[in-house]
Amino acid sequence: MKLVIVTAVEVFQNEVLKLFKKANIESFSSSEIDGFKNTTSLLMASSWFPGKKESVESSLFFSFADEDKIDTLFSFIKAFNQNLETNNPVKAVVVPIEKYI
């Protein structure tokens, strides 16, 4: 069993939910989060409050799942990201679990 953590901009929330279902990961949790990028752009430099960081509404999903289901999820996420027209891919990481009850 491992812990998979997935983050995505809010607009992709429904697609990520479908990917979890398609990978047969039935139990997971989610939370709304604010995403930030530490890049300076022309728009930030010309804003009224240039020191203010702009956030993007995002979603965080996590699940304790079997490795084969996580591998399947990763393949679906990779395919999903290849068809994006934005610079906000779905990101995922796996964390091994040493002990659990």
81 vs 27: CA distance, rounded Å:
23
pTM flag (> 0.85): no
CA angle 79, 81, 86 (to 5 degrees): 150
57 vs 91: CA distance, rounded Å:
15
31 vs 44: CA distance, rounded Å:
27
- Is residue 42's pLDDT more than 50? no
State how far the alpha carbon of 87 is from the alpha carbons of 21, 60, 81, in Å.
25, 18, 10
User: What is the pLDDT averaged over residues 29-38?
Assistant: 86
- 33/100: higher pLDDT: 33
In this predicted structure, what is the pLDDT of residue 53?
60
pLDDT band at 55 (very low <50, low <70, confident <90, very high): confident
Domains in the chain with CATH codes: 2-37+55-96 (3.30.70.120)
In this predicted structure, what is the pLDDT of residue 99?
87
- Is residue 49's pLDDT more than 90? no
- 19/100: higher pLDDT: 19
- Is residue 11's pLDDT more than 90? yes
Written as one letter, the residue type at 24 is N
pLDDT digits (tens, 9 = 90+) for 62-94: 999 999 999 999 999 999 999 898 889 999 999
